């Protein structure tokens, strides 16, 4: 098989090994002399001391590189080397819908009947060529109540395709380039088969991937018009086609996700304008836009010891929660579904009191729609923590694996899960307040010992 087309790749001819990329990194802040050594090790293809285990895949190194040499792509290449040599860490089955015991398959036992109806419809609808498609996405699948039942969906034919893997975005962050190219081809086959022309994506990463990464790096060009949901929504609000009669008078702080850095103001500005139209007052965090800290999900992409991954993710996520709390804002708002699910899990493990919303929920409240907030989020956060815990236990006795299939077997469908007796027991225990409290404290205590973060 021909490997991925790397139009956007590391430019060794431009790199001066100045070290600014890792020196200015918001996560590592490596001393300049150390940063230079780390870059040289990456170029030489040898094991680094910090970068390959500490990187949060937030794209910031590309923005800080004075030569535009794309150091981020070099990190991905080195992770790809690791994957080709030894396979993916066993805990990665958690985010692979084609592997048994993935989070969507297990989560089905906790979904309400209404959630299952929404998801079933989104997964099985076949759009017509003239339909305006909304890609709900893998991560909104975890929280279908974020948008399920909203009048916003009246503007679309909503689809939820797990085996589009968010265009391959979260595997790309871990360097699984060959798999991402297969996913890009599969995604194109879907779109072309449907004959649709207009696709709105709820996740920033998907529109970026379909418009940029697929054609530039994977050699797969789409004919469809991909529009980011916030861009679409802002246009509808400006035209008066969506009304916001309920001004919220809510102080919020906004989380800019990692992929927003790829396009800058194109993705940073619309969410802020939308929140202001909803009556929100925005109090910015210390790190925003191109300097924004990762929600923690990107830390799971780093090639570290299997058992360290969940602790690294929660450690990095806790930085975001604490920075949001320091603003004094009532709520932390994210426009990324992947960020929302991890931020909520972290909020519960830290026993934080700050409210967390997906921007769609804020808009819905301003539209006058009723939400079951925060009860549904709290319950789902503990569902996710249960899945984390179960997956970590399984990974301790499993070996690394290669992702051989990108389309899930119908017999492994999210609607035909195993009984998952141990999962149910863990979740039952988490319903007991003292158990939640003890688990949170134990997790917090273990983070300094289990995480691999340095500097």
Domain extents in the chain? 20-86, 91-450
Q: Spell out the residues 6+ positions from residue 336 whose beta carbon is closer than 8 angstroms to its own.
A: 139, 203, 204, 205, 255, 257, 259, 295
CA angle 328, 329, 334 (to 5 degrees): 135
Q: Which tens digits make up the pLDDT trace of 90-131?
A: 999 999 999 989 999 999 999 999 999 999 999 999 999 999
pLDDT value for 450: 80
Omega before 374 cis (within 30°)? Answer: yes
CA-CA distances (angstroms) from residue 160 to 101, 237, 415? 19, 25, 14
Residue 76, token pair as written in the block: 């991905």
Element (H, E) at 201: strand 198-201
Weakly modelled stretches of the chain, pLDDT under 70: 1-8, 410-417, 453-455
Q: Which tens digits make up the pLDDT trace of 256-282?
A: 999 898 888 899 999 999 999 999 999
Give the end-to-end CA distance of the chain in Å, rounded to a whole number.
40
How does 264-289 read in b/e, with b if 16+ C-beta sit within 10 Å?
eeebbebbbebbebbebebeebebbb
Whether the CB-CB separation of 455 and 50 falls below 8 Å is answered with yes
pLDDT value for 416: 66
pLDDT value for 2: 44
For residue 141, give the DSSP letter. Answer: G
pLDDT value for 344: 97
Whether the CB-CB separation of 267 and 297 falls below 8 Å is answered with no
pTM, to two decimals: 0.94
pLDDT value for 295: 93
The torsion defined by the Cα of 363, 364, 367 and 371, in degrees rounded to 10, comes to -140
Q: Kindly provide the residue ranges of all beta strands, DSSP E only, lying in 223-352, ordered along the sequence.
A: 225-228, 250-255, 280-282, 331-334
pLDDT value for 1: 38
């Amino acid at each position: 098989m021909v490997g991925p087309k790397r139009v956007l790749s590391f430019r060794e001819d431009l790199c001066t090994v100045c070290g600014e990329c890792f020196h200015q990194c918001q996560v590592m802040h490596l001393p300049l002399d150390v940063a230079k050594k780390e870059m040289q090790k990456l170029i030489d293809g040898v094991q680094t001391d910090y970068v390959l285990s500490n990187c949060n895949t937030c794209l910031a190194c590309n923005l800080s590189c004075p030569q535009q040499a794309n150091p981020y792509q070099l990190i991905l290449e080195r992770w790809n080397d690791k994957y080709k040599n030894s396979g993916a860490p066993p805990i990665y089955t958690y985010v692979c819908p084609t592997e048994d015991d993935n989070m969507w398959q297990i989560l089905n036992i906790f979904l309400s009947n209404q959630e299952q109806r929404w998801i079933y419809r989104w997964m099985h609808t076949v759009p017509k060529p003239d339909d305006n498609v909304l890609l709900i996405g893998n991560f909104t699948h975890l929280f279908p109540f974020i948008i399920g039942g909203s009048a916003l969906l009246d503007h679309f034919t909503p689809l939820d395709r797990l085996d589009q893997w968010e265009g391959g975005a979260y595997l790309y962050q871990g360097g699984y380039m060959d798999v991402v190219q297969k996913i890009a081809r599969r995604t194109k086959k879907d779109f072309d088969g449907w004959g649709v022309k207009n696709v709105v994506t709820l996740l920033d990463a998907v529109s970026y991937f379909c418009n940029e990464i697929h054609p530039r790096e994977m050699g797969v060009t789409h004919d469809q018009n991909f529009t980011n949901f916030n861009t679409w929504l802002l246009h509808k609000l400006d035209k008066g086609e969506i009304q916001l009669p309920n001004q919220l008078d809510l102080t919020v702080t906004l989380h800019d996700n990692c992929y927003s850095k790829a396009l800058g103001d194109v993705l940073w500005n619309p969410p802020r304008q939308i929140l202001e139209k909803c009556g929100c007052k925005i109090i910015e965090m210390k790190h925003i836009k191109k300097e924004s800290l990762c929600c923690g999900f990107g830390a799971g992409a780093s090639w570290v010891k299997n058992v360290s991954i969940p602790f690294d993710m929660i450690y990095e996520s806790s930085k975001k929660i604490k920075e949001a709390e320091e603003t004094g804002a009532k709520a932390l708002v994210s426009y990324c579904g992947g960020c929302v699910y991890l931020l909520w899990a972290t909020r519960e493990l830290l026993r934080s009191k700050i409210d967390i919303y997906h921007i769609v929920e804020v808009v819905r409240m301003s539209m006058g729609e009723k939400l079951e907030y925060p009860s549904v989020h709290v319950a789902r956060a503990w569902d996710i923590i249960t899945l984390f815990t179960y997956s970590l236990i399984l990974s301790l006795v499993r070996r690394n694996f290669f992702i051989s299939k990108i389309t899930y077997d119908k017999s492994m469908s999210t609607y035909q899960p195993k009984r998952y007796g141990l999962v149910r027991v863990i979740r039952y225990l988490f319903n007991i307040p003292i158990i939640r409290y003890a688990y949170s404290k134990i997790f917090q205590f273990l983070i300094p010992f289990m995480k691999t973060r340095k500097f």
